Homo-oligomer: A and B are copies of this chain.
Amino acid sequence: MNGAEALMQTAVAAGVDLCLANPGTTEMPLVAALDSVRGVRAVLGVFEGVCTGAADGYARMTGRPALTLLHLGPGFANGIANLHNARRARTPIVNLIGDHTTWHLGADAPLTSDIESLARPVSGWVHTSASAKSLPGDLAAAVGASFGPPGRVASLIVPQDCQWDASPGPAPVPSRTGWAAPDETAVAAAAEALGGDAPAALLLGGRALDERGLRAAARIAAATSCRVLHETFPARLERGGDLPSFDRLPYFPEQAIEALSSLEHLVLAGARDPVSFFGYRDVPSRLAPERAPVLELAAAADDAPLALEALAERLGAAVAVPAPARERIAAPSGALSAGSLGQAIAALQPEGAIVMDEAATSGLAYAAFAAAAPRHTTLSLTGGAIGQGLPCAVGAALACPDRKVIAFQADGSGLYTVQSLWTMAREGLDIVTVICANRAYRILQVELARAGIAEPGRQALGLTDLSHPTIDWTALARGFGVPGQRVESAEAFAEAFERAMAEPGPCLIEAILSA
């Protein structure tokens, strides 16, 4: 048995069953081990950002890390943007990054680079293996580190001789650390803050947005006069059906500051003390009022749903709150705008869908409608590094083959990792990609105005415009093996989307949005 095989056996024993790969020469023994050891499915991405984003989507849905298999520093670098998003989502991922044989590193061959320096900014754990003997133990440690809690990105750099040299065999898999139990002092303090008369809010994030957390938060809301909000870009949010729904903290800092302005207390459950996405002139970084003390009911490593249930108990809240009464949304007609597009998706999405929302400015209407849709899961762009949507949808579909995945995708952002479409086709994934074609980096046009640039010049306008030439997304889809169609009215979209919901397998709908 060589080091690569011992590594792969250890991975299987640790419950890892998927490897998202774009390997090269230095990873060949690991590639071979994907066959000689059974239990890890290999899926090829034709660009590394597909692999890392898919690993993120997979783990958001399963709670378990996938492996990525990437080629030295430059191959890893192509995956960094989506690892940045995964880091912000606290997603467990184990990157396997091949490197030159240990004795060849000093030769400074063309592909040599400082991989650790590249890996550290996105990884909670980084290690370079020293030998085939230590390799399986390194993998076990990487898996352990990735689980946390909270989840994190673990990057294991594997010189090629550590893969091919003989190994004594797999390493034992250490037992996992559980999520931390609620802190009674924090529960008591949160109860006092939220149960009093002073204006108070409960901000939910991370694991607090699962079904248990949401239902406990609804009990708390019903038993107190506190406001409940959720973070702006949750890694995973359960929504729709009979689930309670809470307001999302607005994106723009002025609106978020306004939303929080009356607070005397802010209780955090799995969320961070909220800060502005960017630093704007004369706008503070922290969004809550200075006077409002922050009480952390559940930190990132804590069992946030359990903490919320403990808080509900302490507040004497009723065990269950009635489900919100909602009418199913009607499918819209007329012009295809961000509004009618979002309405149509919310109206027609099936029970149990997974919606990867990287629709950016085109997604705001949908977010408002979706609470009335059937029960579903929403994944958001957590770290602002655009190009997460299509890969993350790939990972979600690999994790949940029985659920329809909707990749709700801004056009500009979708281009960054457009190669994801090929993996959707190869693996026959049940993903409907909806491209919101406004043919602009619309958010940048907004930001130019916010920066006081009222009349941008020709070059500035050119840098925010995608209309010259227009991008033909149906041709791109076809190029990668995915059937696509273009629609220009709400009715045509609804018809295409309804058909896509009924048929399995990948397809793409390019929705041409009117301004």
Chain A interface residues toward B at CB < 8 A? 21, 23-26, 28-29, 31-32, 34-36, 41-42, 44, 46-47, 49, 73-75, 77-78, 80-81, 84-85, 88, 100-101, 103-104, 106-111, 113-115, 117-118, 120-122, 160-161, 164, 233, 275-279, 281, 285-286, 382-385, 387, 412, 415-416, 418-419, 422, 425-426, 443-444, 447-448, 451, 453, 456-460, 462-463, 466, 468-476, 478-481
Residue contact A80 to B74, C-beta cutoff 8 Å = yes
Known: A23-B444, A25-B278. 20 other contacts (CB 8 A): A25-B443, A26-B278, A34-B457, A34-B460, A35-B457, A42-B459, A75-B385, A80-B118, A101-B279, A103-B279, A106-B285, A110-B384, A114-B120, A115-B121, A117-B118, A117-B120, A160-B279, A415-B419, A418-B418, A471-B480
- How many copies of this protein are present in the complex? 2
CA distance A448 to B99 in the complex (A): 16
Known contacts: A35-B460, A113-B122, A444-B23. The answer to whether A278 contacts B471 by CB under 8 A is: no
CB-contact partner of A415 in B47, B106, B233, B448, under 8 A? B47
Residue contact B462 to A44, C-beta cutoff 8 Å = yes
CA distance A466 to B44 in the complex (A): 9
Residue contact B74 to A463, C-beta cutoff 8 Å = no
A-B contact pairs, 17 of them (CB 8 A): A28-B448, A28-B451, A29-B451, A31-B459, A32-B448, A36-B457, A41-B459, A73-B80, A75-B385, A84-B113, A109-B275, A114-B120, A117-B120, A415-B422, A471-B481, A473-B479, A475-B479
Known contacts: A425-B469, A480-B471. The answer to whether A453 contacts B32 by CB under 8 A is: yes
Residue contact B468 to A472, C-beta cutoff 8 Å = no
CA distance A77 to B122 in the complex (A): 11
Report the minimum CB–CB distance from A467 to chain B (whole Å). Answer: 10
Closest residue of chain B to A414 (Cβ to Cβ) is B46
Residue contact B470 to A481, C-beta cutoff 8 Å = yes
What's the dominant secondary structure at chain A's contact region? Answer: helix
CB-contact partner of A107 in B114, B276, B418, under 8 A? B276
Report the minimum CB–CB distance from A5 to chain B (whole Å). Answer: 12
Residue contact B122 to A25, C-beta cutoff 8 Å = no
CB-contact partner of A453 in B28, B108, B382, under 8 A? B28
| A478 CB contacts on chain B under 8 angstroms | 472, 475, 479
Residue contact A28 to B447, C-beta cutoff 8 Å = yes
Report the minimum CB–CB distance from A177 to chain B (whole Å). Answer: 24
Report the minimum CB–CB distance from A108 to chain B (whole Å). Answer: 7
Known contacts: A466-B46, A479-B473. The answer to whether A384 contacts B451 by CB under 8 A is: no
Taking each of A110, A447, A471, which has the highest tally of chain B beta carbons within 10 Å of its own beta carbon? A110
Residue contact A110 to B233, C-beta cutoff 8 Å = yes
CB-contact partner of A24 in B31, B84, B161, B444, under 8 A? B444
| A47 CB contacts on chain B under 8 angstroms | 415-416
Closest residue of chain B to A388 (Cβ to Cβ) is B74
Residue contact B78 to A458, C-beta cutoff 8 Å = no
Known contacts: A278-B104, A279-B160, A479-B471. The answer to whether A447 contacts B84 by CB under 8 A is: no
CB-contact partner of A448 in B21, B31, B100, under 8 A? B31
| A113 CB contacts on chain B under 8 angstroms | 84, 121-122
| A41 CB contacts on chain B under 8 angstroms | 459
Residue contact A444 to B475, C-beta cutoff 8 Å = no
Q: Which 6 A-B pairs have the closest CB atoms?
A: A35-B457, A104-B279, A469-B481, A74-B385, A101-B279, A475-B479
| A28 CB contacts on chain B under 8 angstroms | 444, 447-448, 451, 453
Residue contact A84 to B74, C-beta cutoff 8 Å = yes
Residue contact B383 to A107, C-beta cutoff 8 Å = no
| A470 CB contacts on chain B under 8 angstroms | 481
CA distance A29 to B451 in the complex (A): 8
Report the minimum CB–CB distance from A353 to chain B (whole Å). Answer: 25
CA distance A29 to B419 in the complex (A): 32
Residue contact A77 to B74, C-beta cutoff 8 Å = no
Report the minimum CB–CB distance from A3 to chain B (whole Å). Answer: 13
